[in-house]
């Protein structure tokens, strides 16, 4: 692996005159876009598209009791899903970008619009990482991402369980944009904009908006 993408090598991404920055204040802003026809946020970074929405996170108990949970897993039937093709709403997630392929041929605009408004939701434990891929209980967990095993994980994924990998990678991508949007939200609310946090905050002072974070006096 000597490149990040077809167009950008690791060296260019880190050492070229255009990529190298002396400090974080010199990093250009990457805009976030709203893509209307799929009802998703998106941006392109290093030739990789990140897209999606913020979803609900259900705890395992709610799922076990089947309490109004939906769109937690990706429909394994994709555009061949019988529920979808019969004009009904599937309990499993269908990506609007994929549904576009059968719009006006196998599904109507009104069904497409209904699916477009269903966000990908998650199980709280799906952010957990495991090295034990073969355990069925770990199906929804992350199977790659640890620095020490990343190269080995990627190599292994090219020869093993291709179909299962697709699900795993899609989960990771959906969680990634979910997390990024949550972080942008935090930043917009100034919750994590450290420059606006006073040097010393009295958390007991209710006139201070940061006081809600903690009711103890903390030096930061
Ligand atoms: Zn389905």
Question: Chunked in runs of 10, what are the mean pLDDT values of the chain (220 residues)?
Answer: 72 68 82 94 93 93 80 95 97 97 97 96 92 78 89 84 81 96 84 52 46 38
The CA 143 to ligand 1 mean position distance, Å, reads 24
Tell me the CA distances in angstroms from 22 to 17, 25, 91, 194, 220, one per residue in order. 11, 8, 49, 20, 26
Separation of 100 CA from ligand 1 center, angstroms?
15
> How far is the centre of ligand 1, averaged over its atoms, from the C-alpha of 73 (Å)?
10
Q: How far is the CA of 114 from the centre of ligand 1 (A)?
A: 13
Q: What is the pLDDT of residue 40?
A: 95
Distance of CA 91 from the midpoint of ligand 1 (Å): 7
48 CA to centre of ligand 1 in angstroms = 26
Give the number of other Cβ atoms within 10 Å of residue 120's Cβ.
24
Domains of the chain, by residue range, sit at: 52-219
165 C-alpha to ligand 1 centroid (Å): 19
CA of 72 to the centre of ligand 1 (A): 12
Q: How far is the CA of 64 from the centre of ligand 1 (A)?
A: 20
């Amino acid at each position: 692996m000597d490149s990040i993408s077809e167009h950008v090598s690791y060296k260019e991404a880190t050492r070229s005159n255009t990529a190298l920055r002396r400090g974080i204040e010199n990093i250009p802003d990457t805009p976030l876009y709203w893509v209307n026809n799929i009802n998703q946020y998106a941006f392109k970074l290093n030739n990789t598209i990140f897209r999606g929405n913020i979803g609900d996170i259900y705890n395992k108990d709610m799922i076990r009791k089947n309490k109004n949970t939906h769109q937690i897993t990706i429909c394994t039937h994709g555009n061949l899903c019988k529920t979808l093709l019969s004009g009904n709403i599937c309990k499993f997630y269908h990506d609007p970008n994929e549904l576009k392929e059968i719009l006006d041929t196998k599904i109507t605009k009104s069904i497409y619009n209904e699916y477009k408004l269903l966000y990908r939701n998650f199980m709280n434990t799906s952010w957990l990482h495991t090295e034990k891929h073969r355990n069925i209980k770990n199906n929804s967990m992350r199977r790659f991402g640890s620095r020490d095993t990343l190269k080995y994980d990627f190599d292994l994924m090219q020869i093993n369980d291709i179909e299962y990998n697709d699900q795993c990678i899609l989960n990771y991508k959906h969680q990634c944009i979910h997390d990024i949007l949550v972080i942008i939200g935090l930043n917009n609310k100034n919750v994590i904009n450290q420059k606006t946090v006073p040097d010393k905050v009295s958390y007991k002072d209710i006139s201070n908006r940061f006081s809600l974070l903690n009711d103890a006096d903390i030096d930061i």
